[in-house]
Amino acid sequence: MIIETREFTRVEGNGKAEIVIEGNEVKDVRVKIVEGPRFFELLTLGRDFWDVPDLEARICAICYLSHSVASVLAIERALGVEVPEETRLLRELGLIGELIESHSLHLYLLVAPDLFGYPDAIRLATKHGELVKEGIALKAFGNRIRDLIGGREIHGINVKPGGFGRWPGREELEAIEWEAKALLTVAKRAVRLFSGIGEYGGRAELFVATDGYLTGDSLISNVERNFQYFERIEERPLVYSFAKQSLYSGKPFLVGSLARLLLKAESLTPTAKRLFEENRERLEAGWVSYNNLAQVIELVYALERAGEIAKTLLDKGFEPENVPVEAGDGEGIGYVEAPRGVLVHHYRIADGKIEYSNIITPTAFNHAMMEGALLWEARNLYGNAPEDELLRRLEETVRAFDPCISCSVHFVRG
Amino acid sequence: MKLGVFELTDCGGCALNFLFLYERLFDVLEFYEIEEFHMATRLEGRHFDVGLVTGTVSSHRDLEVLREARNRSDYLIALGTCATHGCLQASVELPLKEKLKAVYGDEGNPMRALDPKPVVEYVTVDLAIPGCPYDKNELFQALIDIAKGIEPVRPDYPVCLECKLNEYECVLVKKGLPCLGPITLGGCNAVCPRSGLGCIGCRGPLPGEVNPAGEFEVLKGLGYDEEYIMRKFKTFARWEP
């Protein structure tokens, strides 16, 4: 017998799950990504490198800037371009803005209704209007940063190889420093709310992240340091899904907020570090549901870090100068921590044109783990709880991964 | 009035952009009740005064959702360039079989994919709002107009007009950057020239009296090769409504 869930709601993109039951036992769970294929790497082949980040940004609206930055980093590495500190800091600020926008969308508008038993944030707002408004204020702030650095709230084209189209000015950075400080109180309040979340979705054992907090030169995990994605991670296509599945040394693994906190807590800002220490034991237990708690701690980190970056740039001062980029040959990988986890863009460029392109998104990295988490929940609840409760819990488990299904459906064979 | 939001295959941005109305979302909710919107709610409605469809039709599942949306909506809006012109994911001009083989490694099609095409290729829509993403103010105004029984106004001018009104420096003339502003439908407030960069044409071609041949010659004169220019023209709008 197969129980099929309806399409997941309050997640980005279209997907569902199938629970395979044999002889009254849960045998398997398959996560079916039914979002159509999108062929993004094919689209970039033969294109001029300069245009590619703007196209790749369109893989995802929630994390477009992560895609632009990963794409730009891969291109700069391939063409041997070094950018100065202020360019790197401004890109980090953009990624921080994206983290704020994405985490607050997920926590306040997608997860919070579950905590209070409402179908959505709009109905939740009738009773808890302040909470929803706080979430919206955080989201709007994240988007203001994306607009400033990325050139638009969604799919901006301002992040370019070598620098930016338009550089932010002093007043704009001052506003960010000030607003980040004001919103920190709101995020700290949210930690209390989301730390009430229960344990579900099984326990992850393997975690992968980039070696820097939001960008990096290589990957790290809880079993080894500094490896390239193709040395350890294998992708395989599935007959029942438009998204491929990745395994790390043959095993499912977790990327995203929880993985980042567990692998890189030493890089956190003071308040975020304190909150991490307070919750360390629970986070280290590895329950998938604690990805929500990890996200809310990261929200505090992001607000503190946004203020820090703005202040550093303001104190130091900077000249808006782009590094010239010449068309040439080369190969490069851009590693970025998108809000949902590790994102890889890998290109080979010949005479300024893309001739090989490979992209792996966080949701694809998490796909196998997601099936494992659902299997764990299904085995736990099947026969012990009514079917609608089982299905609701499965949906909550999927939501804890904060999947981005649109991102996951456009892989090209390496 | 009852509102439904239906997402086919896309990046999620058009649905998300609706949530980015922030406080004004509550103004929309003065007129509308959201009955179905899977990114935001777990409710499922039956009949809609206004339906919004985003994304391309890229699978049989998408086609079924689209037909349901059309049948159940009195006023259907194709929202965003995927829905109106196909956008990027429809721009790869290979047969579907070859695309699937390149990506998934075999020639089968177990998930019943279709070659990505815009919504307007399959059903008649009452309004098309392009943009990757669309301008959220345009959607806001359209929804308020419809609620009041007024037919929404459609922009009919190029991106250049808004660029001039903002007094941005012309990146095509001054910097020699490839800018599709002269032949692209305005309504985005010239967001890319604002960053000092060329318009990439994400709102699709300006209908009516346009001169793509003239733009082609200008870009050729600036040193861009023909293949590059043709690809740029067709990136967002391989399909035209």
- Per-block mean pLDDT, blocks of 10 residues, chain B (241 long): 94 90 90 86 83 95 94 97 95 88 76 91 97 96 97 94 97 95 96 97 89 94 94 89 70
Chain B residues within an 8 Å CB radius of A37:
9, 58, 99-100, 103-104, 113
Test B103 with A13 for CB contact under 8 angstroms.
Answer: no
Specify whether the CB–CB gap between A137 and A184 falls below 8 A: no
Over the stretch A263-316, which tens digit does the pLDDT of each residue have? 999 999 999 999 999 999 999 999 999 999 999 999 999 999 999 999 999 999
Q: At what angle do helices A291-316 and A129-150 cross, to 10 degrees?
A: 50
Instruction: Give the pLDDT score at A411.
Output: 41
Test A413 with B94 for CB contact under 8 angstroms.
Answer: no
Instruction: Give the pLDDT score at A409.
Output: 57
Chain B residues within an 8 Å CB radius of A240:
110-111
Lookup: tokens for A12:
């980005």
Chain A residues within an 8 Å CB radius of B180:
none
Instruction: Give the pLDDT score at A347.
Output: 97
Lookup: tokens for A100:
């704020």
ipTM of the complex: 0.93
At residue A50, does pLDDT exceed 70?
yes
Pick the residue of B6, B88, B171, B230 with the most A CBs within 10 A to test the interface with A by mutation. Answer: B88
Burial (0-12, 13-18, 19+ Cβ within 10 Å), B231: middle
Chain A residues within an 8 Å CB radius of B89:
36, 38-40, 43, 410
Q: Identify the DSSP state of B120.
A: G
Instruction: Give the pLDDT score at B109.
Output: 77
A31-35, A384-388, B12-16, B152-156: range with lowest mean pLDDT:
A31-35
Test A55 with B88 for CB contact under 8 angstroms.
Answer: yes
At residue A8, does pLDDT exceed 90?
no
How many Cα atoms sit within 13 Å of A134 on the Cβ side?
20
Amino acid identity of residue A21, one-letter, is: I
The answer to whether A166 contacts chain B (CB < 8 Å) is yes
For range A340-358, the mean pLDDT: 96
Test A120 with B42 for CB contact under 8 angstroms.
Answer: yes
Contacts of B32 (CB under 8 A, 6+ apart): B1, B2, B3, B49, B50, B143, B147
At residue A412, does pLDDT exceed 50?
no
Give whole-number Cα distances, A297 to A192, A396, B218, in Å.
Answer: 10, 20, 52
At residue A105, does pLDDT exceed 80?
yes
B-facing residues of A in 324-343 (CB < 8 A) are: none
Sign of the CA dihedral A133, A134, A136, A141? Answer: positive
Chain B residues within an 8 Å CB radius of A11:
39
For range A377-381, the mean pLDDT: 93
Specify whether the CB–CB gap between A262 and A284 falls below 8 A: yes
Instruction: Give the pLDDT score at A410.
Output: 45
pLDDT-based confidence at A95, cuts 50/70/90? very high
- Which of B43, B105, B192 is nearest residue A157 as measured by Cβ atoms? B192
The answer to whether A37 contacts chain B (CB < 8 Å) is yes
Better-scored residue on pLDDT, A45 or A5: A45
Q: What DSSP string describes A286-322?
A: TBGGGHHHHHHHHHHHHHHHHHHHHHHHHHH-----P
The answer to whether A236 contacts chain B (CB < 8 Å) is no
- Which of B11, B22, B41 is nearest residue A59 as measured by Cβ atoms? B11
Closest approach of A149 to chain B, Cα-based (Å): 10
Of B4, B11, B3, the C-alpha closest to B131 is B11
Mean pLDDT of chain A: 92
CA A401 to chain centroid, in Å, comes to 10
At residue A4, does pLDDT exceed 90?
no
Name the strands in the sheet holding A2-4, side by side, starting at the edge strand that comes first in the sequence: A2-4, A15-22, A25-33
- Which of A9, A153, A413 is nearest residue B102 as measured by Cβ atoms? A413
Closest approach of A205 to chain B, Cα-based (Å): 29
Task: Work out the percent of chain A whose per-residue pLDDT is above 70.
Answer: 98
Residue written as tokens 């990745």?
A: A246
Beta carbons within 10 angstroms of residue A351's beta carbon: 10
Specify whether the CB–CB gap between A396 and A274 falls below 8 A: no
Instruction: Give the pLDDT score at B64.
Output: 93
Region of residue B11 (left: phi > 0; alpha: psi -120 to 50; beta: else) = alpha
A-facing residues of B in 23-62 (CB < 8 A) are: 23, 29, 34, 37-43, 56-59, 61-62
A-facing residues of B in 96-155 (CB < 8 A) are: 99-100, 102-106, 108, 110-111, 113-114, 116, 132-133
Instruction: Give the pLDDT score at A236.
Output: 83
Instruction: Give the pLDDT score at A79.
Output: 98
Over the stretch A139-155, which tens digit does the pLDDT of each residue have? 999 999 999 999 999 99
Instruction: Give the pLDDT score at B2.
Output: 96
Instruction: Give the pLDDT score at A222.
Output: 97
Test A37 with B231 for CB contact under 8 angstroms.
Answer: no
Chains A, B: CB pairs < 8 Å:
184
Instruction: Give the pLDDT score at A408.
Output: 63
